[in-house]
Amino acid sequence: MKLVFAKLAGGEDTYEAVLEKSGIDATPAEEDIAYADEVIAGIEAHAEEIDALIDDIAIGWKIERMPKVDLSILRIAVYEMQHRDDIPCSVSINEAVELAKEFGGDKSSSYVNGMLGTLAKRMEN
């Protein structure tokens, strides 16, 4: 999530820079790096589609006005829900809500949960 946020904010976007700023000394596992690379590439490849979906389910909010942390979390979850058959929607939603609790504002987790729940219901239909 921090890498997606860094790219969105136009800051450092290397693993090393993000880990250093986060105070993380451990080296990520190869599979974690591969997954992060795949997610970031997927978000970039489907950016217009992902942002259009977010904009559509964000009743009363414009994507340009969303907090960047919330938007980063939503982009990851929407990408997973739309393009990763190996990840159940419920898992993507749960992970997004947990990230929103840790990194977002007071109401971020409720907002993220509601938006992604709406998307999941649309996908079921």
Q: Is the dihedral of CA 109, 75, 42, 7 positive or negative?
A: negative
Quick: pLDDT tens for 11-46.
656 667 776 776 767 777 788 778 888 888 899 899
Looking at residue 62, what is its pLDDT? 86
What is the separation of C-alpha 78 from the centre of its chain, rounded to a whole number of angstroms? 7
Q: How confident is the model at residue 81 (pLDDT cuts 50, 70, 90)?
A: very high
Question: In the chain, what are the domain boundaries?
Answer: 30-124
User: What is the residue type of 113?
Assistant: N
The CA distance from 15 to 36, in Å, is 10
Q: How confident is the model at residue 98 (pLDDT cuts 50, 70, 90)?
A: very high
Instruction: Say if residues 75 and 14 touch (Cβ distance below 8 Å).
Output: no
For the entire predicted model, the pTM comes to: 0.87
Per DSSP, the three-state class of 29 is coil
Looking at residue 60, what is its pLDDT? 79
User: What single string gives the DSSP state of each residue in 52-97?
Assistant: HHHHHH-TT--GGGS-HHHHHHHHHHHHHHHH-TTS-HHHHHHHHH
Task: Name the superfamily (CATH) of residues 30-124.
Answer: NusB-like (1.10.940.10)
